[in-house]
Structure 1
Amino acid sequence: MDPGFVKPEEEVKEGEDKGQGVVIPLIPGDIKLRRCGYCLVKQPMRAKHCRLCQHCVRRYDHHCPWLENCVGERNHPLFIVYLSVQLVVLLWGGHVAWSGLYFEQSQEWLQDNIFLLVSFLLIFIFTIVVLLLLVSHLYLISCNTTTWEFMSHHRISYLRHSELENPFDQGIILNLWGFFCSHHITAWENIYFHKNSEPV
Structure 2
Amino acid sequence: MTPGGGSGPMKDCEYSQISTHSSSSPMESPHKKKKSVPKRKWEVFPGRNKFFCNGRIMMARQTGVFYLTLVLILVTSGLFFAFDCPYLSEKITPAIPAIGGILFFFVMGTLLRTSFSDPGVLPRATPDEAADLERQIDIANGCSSGGYRPPPRTKEVIINGQTVKLKYCFTCKIFRPPRASHCSLCDNCVERFDHHCPWVGNCVGKRNYRFFYMFILSLSFLTVFIFAFVITHVILRSQQTGFLNALKDSPASVLEAVVCFFSVWSIVGLSGFHTYLISSNQTTNEDIKGSWSNKRGKENYNPYSYGNIFTNCCAALCGPLSPSLIDRRGFIQPDTPQLAGPSNGITMYGATQSQSNMAAATPLLQSEPSITSEELPLPGKTSLSGPCATLTLGQPTPPSSMPNLTSDSGLTDIIPLKEEHEGHQFLTPEEAPSPPGMLPSGSPMAHSRTMHVLSLASQDSLHEDSVRGLVKLSSV
TM-score, normalized by the shorter chain, greater than 0.5: yes
Is structure 2 residue 233 aligned with structure 1 residue 103? no
Q: Look up the match of 2:304.
A: 168
Is structure 2 residue 195 aligned with structure 1 residue 62? yes
Question: What is the identity, as a one-letter code, of the residue corresponding to 1:69?
Answer: N
Identical aligned pairs, as a percentage?
31
Judge conservation of contact 2:193–2:283 (CA < 8 Å) in 1: yes
Is structure 2 residue 153 aligned with structure 1 residue 153? no
Q: Distance in 1 between matches of 2:313 and 2:231?
A: 35
Displacement of 1:55 = 0.6
Q: Look up the match of 2:452.
A: none
Displacement of 1:167 = 2.3
**Regions of 4+ moved over 4 Å:** 106-115
**1:98-136 deviation per Cα after TM superposition (whole angstroms, max 9, x unaligned):** 233122436655544554234213212212221111111
Stretches of structure 1 lacking an aligned partner (at least 5 in a row): 12-24, 157-161, 186-200
Displacement of 1:94 = 1.6
| Bigger-Rg structure (1/2) | 2
**1:141-166 deviation per Cα after TM superposition (whole angstroms, max 9, x unaligned):** 10011111100126x9xxxxx82332
Query: Highest relative contact order (Cα 8 Å, sep 6+), 1 or 2?
Result: 1
Task: Call closer, same or farther: CA 1:26–1:146 in 2, change over 3 Å.
Answer: closer
Per the alignment, in what secondary structure is the counterpart of residue 79 of structure 1? helix
Task: Call closer, same or farther: CA 1:107–1:26 in 2, change over 3 Å.
Answer: closer
Q: Look up the match of 2:318.
A: 181
Task: Call closer, same or farther: CA 1:106–1:170 in 2, change over 3 Å.
Answer: closer
Displacement of 1:3 = 0.8
Q: Distance in 2 between matches of 1:106 and 1:132?
A: 31
Q: Distance in 1 between matches of 2:174 and 2:257?
A: 48
Per the alignment, in what secondary structure is the counterpart of residue 166 of structure 2? coil
Question: What is the identity, as a one-letter code, of the residue corresponding to 2:157?
Answer: I
Displacement of 1:67 = 1.0
Q: Distance in 2 between matches of 1:120 and 1:75?
A: 31
Q: Distance in 2 between matches of 1:107 and 1:47?
A: 55
Is structure 2 residue 157 aligned with structure 1 residue 27? yes
Stretches of structure 2 lacking an aligned partner (at least 5 in a row): 1-116, 130-154, 293-297, 323-476
Task: Call closer, same or farther: CA 1:147–1:77 in 2, change over 3 Å.
Answer: same
Aligned length: 166
- Aligned-residue Cα RMSD (Å) equals 3.0
Question: What is the identity, as a one-letter code, of the residue corresponding to 1:27?
Answer: V
> What does residue range 23-102 of structure 1 map to in structure 2 within 5 Å?
27=157, 32-101=165-234, 102=237
Question: What is the identity, as a one-letter code, of the residue corresponding to 2:299?
Answer: E
Q: Distance in 2 between matches of 1:91 and 1:124?
A: 9
Q: Distance in 1 between matches of 2:243 and 2:191?
A: 59
Question: What is the identity, as a one-letter code, of the residue corresponding to 1:67?
Answer: V
Deviates more, 1:38-47 or 1:121-130: 121-130
Displacement of 1:38 = 2.2
Judge conservation of contact 2:238–2:244 (CA < 8 Å) in 1: no
Per the alignment, in what secondary structure is the counterpart of residue 120 of structure 2? coil
Q: Distance in 2 between matches of 1:70 and 1:146?
A: 13
Q: Distance in 1 between matches of 2:211 and 2:230?
A: 28
Task: Call closer, same or farther: CA 1:163–1:107 in 2, change over 3 Å.
Answer: closer
Judge conservation of contact 1:7–1:41 (CA < 8 Å) in 2: no
